[in-house]
Chains A and B, each alone.
Chain A
Amino acid sequence: MTSKDNRRLDLILAAGLIALVALPWYRFNGGFFGLEWLGELYSAAKVRPGAVQALTGRWQLWPVIALIAVAAGLRFMRPAGPPRGKALAWVGAIGIAWMLAEGLSVGLRGWNWGLLEATFGDVAGQPAFGAGAVIVGVVFALLIAFGAAERGALKGDAFVLASITLLVLLVAVFVFYPLVSMFTGAFQNFDGSFTSEGVRNNIVDPKIWSLACLAGGNCGIAWRTFFLAICTATGTTLLGLVFALVATRTGFRFKKSLRLLTVLPIITPPFVVGLALTMLLGRSGSLTQVIESATGWELGRWLYGLTGIWIAQMLSFTPISFLVLIGVVEGISPSMEEASQTLRSDRWRTFRKVSLPLMAPGLANAFLIGFIESMADFGNPLVLGGSGGVLSTEIFFAVVGAQNDPARAAVLASVLLVFTLSAFLAQRLWLAGKNYSTVTGKGDGGRHIALPRRVAWPVISVAVAWAAFTITVYGMIVFGGFVKVWGLDHSLTFDHYIRAFGVAWDGGIRWTGVAWDSFWTTMEIALIAAPLTAAVGLLTAWLIVRQRFPGRSVFEFALMMSFAIPGTVIGISYIMAFNLPPLQMTGTAVILIACFVFRNMPVGVRGGVAAMAQLDGSLDEASLTLGAGSARTMRKVILPLMRPAILAALVYSFVRAITSISAVIFLVSAKYNMATAYIVGLVENGEYGIAIAYSSVLILVMITVIGGFQLLVGERRLRRPGDTSAAPPLAKDAAT
């Protein structure tokens, strides 16, 4: 055991040494991956490694070097064992704490806080952490983990300890640090000094909190958003239930194809529905024109505002509620209903007295999901909001518009966060344990009874009508890309596609279309983010399900909670956190990738947890007792068995990276523009044709990817009939 302990210490100490003497300590313009720094590593001041920086007057780096030296000393002078482990863990912890302290205290222009300047005198400013600093930080984190392993924590499993430490570090940096930065940002002036003025002004702003609408005026934005979310949640829950009942409890002929609806929210970029609605019902929408010419009424701009947003959200989120409620409706044990029938209750009474009450917790769950989705929605309000937006769009305009008022953005974001987190907490704490569904999936025989006739007919009619509306709206999307000028000139054309995706040939291929740039960036970033998301998510799932460590439930809870943070809040907190040292990455691809990874990771976690729950826990233990370490167990046993879950996580995070807009729109830059942000730009310029054409192409790409995935997994199932570890249906992940 001693040799293994020493070998991994040697590795990270070597990494630490290289990072200190041979890698640029600070971030610099031109970029680490440009590799031009290699030539001038010791000459140019900005790319000097940490050791040289320390020698040339940056005293704040001496403790870092000293700590690494202490760690090396411990490695070579002391035998492996609990005492040394404890010392190493302390070195790591102090190292992290020191880097945190000095990184946050010394900014670009010297001390960040006046108090420190008064106490210690002047200090030279420092740029953000670069490659060297990041690697040394990781080395410190691993020292904590390996030290704890030597002490025998978690049965001395270094792999597990290292994974936990790094995950905690990553989540702290990419979830909690941004949120904290956002809140502190609200209390800062432009020059960084403390002020509570902005917050005080905004927190009582009647534009946010006014309840005047009760007396006929206009309500504040917080209440408007809340009201909208309640309406959307109610509507989608009811419609979702209608669809779920039709799909599971009627003899409706096309109920199989109804399920196709559930794929829609996954493949539709969030603003597309709003866009299609504009084309149908907007001022010059086709339906508007038909009605106006038939009746002579002036319909005007009724669509822009809460009504329009509500319709768009109903279209967007009903499928999600449908998906959740199919599970609920199917999960009710048929024998309950059969029992009720044998107790002299007819179908109607059974439905009212048994089925519906059993569904109640599931309905509440669907309601809360709809509520959170509506609150977090950014795309539809952006397209349809008109003058009166909702919280998420207001946050956006508070920072990008003329006002640039971070305090206001922070206050609005906090309000939004409180709403969504309350719903999330209600879902987790109050609804947990109130689930009557039979989760075993085994069922106890019997079949669900059909709906009583007096319910079935209305339910089917509503479902068919809504499905027809959905199809019309999506038809608009396809059709709109081929129409010259919507509302004015309906002659067909390929112009939009050519302008967006034109390709010329002169000796080599030239991507002349305007969309290619953002398209390729999107693909590239989505392709990088997807495997990272899947890896981080599944590793976390494995830790949560299979390892028992102190704070595990807190860890899981915090992770899941991060899913309830609206994208807009994430976007704003990222730009506030990562715009200045110690961690600076706005305008890079890294920030986009980090955003996708940590935003979509909870889905990977949930998928992984579900898949792992089906794997017998003694499989890992068997592998351990057969002499395989945790890493080998992971590679040889867990990963092969989880292949469908991994594929699902990959596909899902890829698709999410393509369709998301709310966080992305804050983080894109001229160099790294994403498709969705680009499309929103087109919409704002009124170039609907290209926007729609581009959206259709994105949808097509995603259908292809998902179809391919289904084929792959389906094929696997055919090959191995005995295999029960079927892939969790992709769509389910979108549901919560």
Chain B
Amino acid sequence: MTQKRGAVEFRAVRKNFGAFTAIPDLSLAIEPGELVTLLGPSGCGKTTTLRMLAGLESPSDGQILIGGQDVTRLPADRRDVSMVFQSYALFPHMTVGQNVAYGLESGGMKPGPARERATETLDLVGLAGLEKRLPAELSGGQQQRVAVARALVLEPQVLLLDEPLSNLDARLRRRVRTEIRELQQRLGFTAVYVTHDQEEALAVSDRIVVMKEGRVAQMGSPRELYESPASEFIADFIGEANVVDGQVVSVEGDVAQVELGGATVALPARGLQPGPARVSFRANAVRVTTGGQGIAGTIATSAYLGDHVEYEIDGPLGRIFVVDDESETPLRPGSAVVLELRPRGLALIPEGT
């Protein structure tokens, strides 16, 4: 099966629901063959964005392009995209085979060939031999794959997935997301994937668009987002970083010397000048030791979680959250510790506080 690959572009799109503006101004470009996730807290407008792309909502203003063509006013049934719904939306009165063949027949294909194509696609997602079942007779994971097959069989320019894993249990989620990613890489289609789970987004995406209140907060590869968050919001949302106050002491070229709670560390300057700065401080950015060089602190709480220990530590940076995956025995609350900085979990945040 060959897939068409369409680019997607949002140009200054706005969406109002009555007096409420869900999306104030959204511009976005997605390359052909890319898997892009829309990530953000609940209510930030991810689903609305996806539905506008599908043609299920029309934008109040702006343009949407798919494969270079302006589709802003094109109704859903005439757009070359298909969608995997959060609830799967499998037609309960049709068999799995009929469900998958439905879109093909809508497009005018004869039932015979449509059924054959449906069978092929079901093979592709690992559901060979289940054509005759009703959706109610499948497990959650299988239903999910039928929904994917039903969308893929149309070879759309873009595949849309709205929180496709939210109805699966945690263990299945990991497996299915790998499968979806693998399928996308193999067939090479463009995909827009909505989720509110940052781990899921990091795992499947080529690029992530983090949204906040209907705007793009930051767009970039998973590594860029994790290692160079553009704002406190991103730092907190991706990987739950501590955001602490630091002081840029000096800048030489791209490297800044940053003073953090008495210790000093070299970080990429990201355009900052000497002076106070906010620093994204990952939970694994320090080693927790009982002696040595670093930031002094006192353990406030500790939780033993098998392969690592989680601490909240009071010190010159305020209360911070830290993970220690090295020591075997957790330290008791009240113990004095020293935190040794490791530069890889630290980043200056460019925006003013």
Contact = CB atoms under 8 A, between A and B. Distances in A.
**Chain A bound to chain B:** yes
Contacts of A630: 77
A624 interface: yes
Interface stretch (B83-91, B186-194, B345-353): B83-91
A173 interface: no
Interface in B50-84: 51, 54-58, 73-79, 81-83
A1 B83 contact: no
Interface string A600-628: 00000000000000001011011111111
B87 A624 contact: no
Given A627-B107, A722-B136, A622 B92 contact: no
A80 to B, nearest CB: 11
Given A152-B58, A621-B56, A722-B136, A627 B77 contact: yes
Most buried by A among B74, B85, B92, B134: B92
Contact of B87 (A616, A625, A637, A640): A616
A619 B89 CA distance: 5
A641 interface: yes
Contact of A618 (B58, B85, B93): B85
Contacts of B54: 621, 625
B89 A629 contact: no
B102 A626 contact: yes
Nearest to A150: B73
A723 interface: yes
Given A722-B136, A723-B92, A157 B75 contact: yes
Interface string A713-736: 000000000110100000000000
Chain B facing A: main interface SS: loop
A75 to B, nearest CB: 20
B75 A626 contact: no
Nearest to A629: B77
B150 interface: yes
B81 A152 contact: no
Contact of B103 (A82, A627, A640, A722): A627
B154 interface: yes
B59 to A, nearest CB: 11
Interface residues of A, number: 27
Interface string A626-638: 1111101000110
Contact of A619 (B55, B91, B154): B91
B85 A622 contact: yes
Interface string B5-36: 00000000000000000000000000000000
Most buried by B among A1, A152, A616, A622: A622
B102 A623 contact: yes
Contacts of B57: 155
B106 interface: yes
A725 B93 CA distance: 11
B222 to A, nearest CB: 28
Contact of B55 (A155, A622, A636, A722): A155
A339 B76 CA distance: 50
A481 to B, nearest CB: 45
Interface in A1-56: 1
A1 B85 CA distance: 26
A293 B134 CA distance: 71
A630 B86 CA distance: 21
Contact of A155 (B75, B93, B154): B75
Nearest to A628: B106
A621 B107 contact: no
B75 A636 contact: no
A156 interface: yes
Nearest to A626: B103
Given A624-B55, A625-B82, A626-B82, A156 B89 contact: no
Given A616-B87, A641-B92, A155 B76 contact: yes
Contacts of A157: 75
Given A625-B55, A627-B103, A156 B74 contact: yes
Contacts of B79: 625
Contacts of B93: 640-641
Given A1-B74, A156-B73, A157-B75, A628 B103 contact: yes
Given A155-B56, A621-B83, A623-B91, 9 more contacts: A152-B73, A155-B58, A155-B76, A624-B77, A625-B76, A629-B75, A629-B106, A636-B102, A725-B92
Which 6 A-B residue pairings sit nearest by Cβ, starting from the closest?
Answer: A626-B103, A622-B89, A618-B89, A628-B106, A624-B76, A627-B106
